[in-house]
Chain A
Amino acid sequence: MLLYLLLLTQQYSGDGMRWYAMITGDAPLQLGGTARLLYPPLARLYFYLAHDILGLPASFALAQSMNALFGGAGIACLAYILFSFTRRWSLALGGAAALACSLAYSLHATDMTEPMPGVFLSLLALAFSVAYVTWTTPPRWLVMAAGASVGLGASIYQSNALTVVTVGAILFLCDAGAPRSRRLVNLLLCVAVAGAVALSLYVDAFLVTGSARTLPEAVAQSLKTEAETTQGIYAEISLRRVGVLIFGLGEALFGLRAIGGKSTHFFSQGLTPEVAWTVGLVAWSVATVALIFAPYAIRCAKLSDKGQRTVVAGLIGLLPGLCR
């Protein structure tokens, strides 16, 4: 958290800057559309508390600091999750440090972009579900808290709704000591709470702001996906997409400057040093992941039952993210 606060970026993503006038109160507050519904009100509330109540000077950095706080809290959640699964602080801190310094995470944690508060809530939901499956006598409110966090996260950044798949997989697969019926009830309870929280926030927001006049209208607006509102311009199934997945890992971990906006055309200028560096980073990322899987693939190592369940739950959780 401190690191993010010290290293708030001067790169200012346009995705975040477009909200700045609303965040400071210079422009009328509006909802962030279906995809980022509650982001502007949340950022405005934070800015109001920090500037108007606590007296901190208004600046881009003040607006960015909200993400630094959420980013740091999210990393703490991940460290807790990793420690709960492994009981090794070194692995928990190492894994958390890797996420904290990856481009995919630090980009948002040091700027005023929309995803960070929702990502924190998604990691919090995972932490609640992991607490439930690792504690000896876990209270059921942890399951409901996991669902509520997913629902709240989805109302800030819609695609966070996909976290319910990972949370559900953990609750169903990793709670090995519980009978199947109880695991199924927990799974359904979590999904129901997530859906109820998200839908009620969406419907209330649309009704309160006057975007919808009737309840059915508000529900219909709530169920509109980003793909619909953008005419599906980001939905794509193609060979290019496979390349994006492979390069996406290198981009998420390191950030690949030769790729920036060029997509599959980045070879058009030949094998420049920048392109070679990019290819090297992608190869490094893919090789590292492959090497961690390798001992199990070639049967030099075996997974315990608990390990198997956790890995399968994680892989299930990856599927919707990769299909987006």
Chain B
Amino acid sequence: MPLATLLIVLVVLTHEGLEQRARFMRTVFWAGLVVPVVFYGLLFNMVAGRITPNLGMQDTLDIAELLSSRDLIISDWGGTPYLIPSRPHSLSLVGVALEAQLNADDVQAQIQKEIEATVQRGGDVYFYLLLDLSEEEWNISLGQRVKLPYALLDDCRKNATPVMQLRLQTTFGRPLYLWKLNVNK
């Protein structure tokens, strides 16, 4: 809505200016705003979005084949951003943090509880997106916003192994894996 409101202001200014500075206003409005936005939007956003398959969706289908309904997948927002038809249990780190009022100790305890519950029902624990993040990448979202320290998952980092390389990459272009936690059953 802010963009729509801004465009109303810009169009009214252009309209008023056309009476006094016709050529200038017409050039700025059409050559500066309308034509570039329409051209770029159509070509690089809409057409590109239409013809380019989503790598995250394909990753999700691969993950779905691997995981069973007894397993647990821990990620930033829970599950993967897409569909997992077999519906394993999922844990959203951000969701847990919000419920724990951003208290890292409570988040840690909740993660441990979920891991134990998964082991008890005979499932495996997987991490998606979290263990591949560098400290800098972690701090941009989970550190600064949700106040979770990078060290929160140190134990999991030590005891997990990558089981599948994904097509998606981290924000800074690092490879992304699905990690499996090694636990004694």
Among B13, B15, B20, B32, the residue within 8 A (CB) of A287 is: B32
Among B34, B40, B77, the residue within 8 A (CB) of A97 is: B34
- Check if A292 sits within 8 Å of B14, measured CB to CB: yes
CA distance A91 to B24 in the complex (A): 15
- Check if A292 sits within 8 Å of B29, measured CB to CB: yes
CA distance A19 to B94 in the complex (A): 18
- Check if B25 sits within 8 Å of A295, measured CB to CB: yes
CA distance A287 to B112 in the complex (A): 52
- Chain B, 116-173, CB within 8 A of any chain A CB: 136, 140-141, 145-146, 171-172
* Most chain A C-beta atoms within 10 Å of own C-beta, residue among B12, B50, B53, B81: B12
Chain A, residue nearest B94 (CB)? A233
- Check if A314 sits within 8 Å of B5, measured CB to CB: yes
- Chain B, 1-58, CB within 8 A of any chain A CB: 1-18, 20-21, 24-25, 28-30, 32-34, 36-38, 40-42, 44-47, 49-54, 56-57
Known: A162-B1, A292-B25. A101 touches B52 (CB 8 A): no
Known: A99-B3, A295-B21. A230 touches B98 (CB 8 A): yes
Chain A, residue nearest B136 (CB)? A265
- Check if A12 sits within 8 Å of B57, measured CB to CB: yes
- Check if B41 sits within 8 Å of A103, measured CB to CB: yes
- Check if A123 sits within 8 Å of B20, measured CB to CB: no
- Check if A7 sits within 8 Å of B81, measured CB to CB: no
For the complex formed, measure the closest distance between the CB of B92 and the CB atoms of chain A, giving whole angstroms: 11
CA distance A94 to B79 in the complex (A): 42
Chain A, residue nearest B173 (CB)? A269
CA distance A94 to B45 in the complex (A): 19
Chain B hits for A315, CB < 8 A: 9
- Check if A86 sits within 8 Å of B12, measured CB to CB: yes
CA distance A166 to B97 in the complex (A): 35
CA distance A106 to B45 in the complex (A): 8
- Check if A311 sits within 8 Å of B13, measured CB to CB: yes
- Check if B81 sits within 8 Å of A122, measured CB to CB: no
For the complex formed, measure the closest distance between the CB of A118 and the CB atoms of chain B, giving whole angstroms: 9
For the complex formed, measure the closest distance between the CB of B170 and the CB atoms of chain A, giving whole angstroms: 9
- Check if A292 sits within 8 Å of B5, measured CB to CB: no
Known: A98-B34, A99-B4. A255 touches B44 (CB 8 A): yes
Say which size band chain B's interface belongs to: 35 or more
For the complex formed, measure the closest distance between the CB of A262 and the CB atoms of chain B, giving whole angstroms: 6
Chain A hits for B146, CB < 8 A: 233
- Check if B50 sits within 8 Å of A9, measured CB to CB: yes
Among A6, A85, A95, A254, the residue within 8 A (CB) of B40 is: A254
Among A10, A101, A296, the residue within 8 A (CB) of B54 is: A10
Chain A hits for B81, CB < 8 A: 13-14, 17-18
Chain B, residue nearest A81 (CB)? B8
CA distance A105 to B101 in the complex (A): 33
Does A65 belong to the interface (CB within 8 Å)? no
Does A268 belong to the interface (CB within 8 Å)? yes
- Check if A20 sits within 8 Å of B83, measured CB to CB: yes
- Check if A94 sits within 8 Å of B34, measured CB to CB: yes
Chain B hits for A221, CB < 8 A: none
Among A12, A101, A303, the residue within 8 A (CB) of B42 is: A101
Chain A hits for B38, CB < 8 A: 97-98, 100-101
Chain B hits for A18, CB < 8 A: 81
- Chain A, 259-274, CB within 8 A of any chain B CB: 260-263, 265, 268-269
Q: Which positions in A face B, CB cutoff 8 Å?
A: 3, 6-14, 17-18, 20-21, 78, 81-82, 85-86, 88, 91-92, 94-95, 97-107, 110, 119, 122-123, 126, 160, 162-163, 166, 229-231, 233-234, 249, 252-255, 260-263, 265, 268-269, 284, 287-289, 291-293, 295-296, 300-304, 307, 310-311, 314-315, 317-318, 321-322
A/B interface sample: 14 pairs, CB < 8 A? A11-B49, A82-B11, A85-B12, A98-B34, A98-B38, A106-B46, A162-B1, A163-B1, A292-B29, A295-B24, A307-B15, A314-B6, A321-B1, A321-B5
| Given A82-B11, A231-B102, A254-B37, 4 new contacts (CB under 8 A) | A14-B81, A91-B15, A105-B3, A318-B9
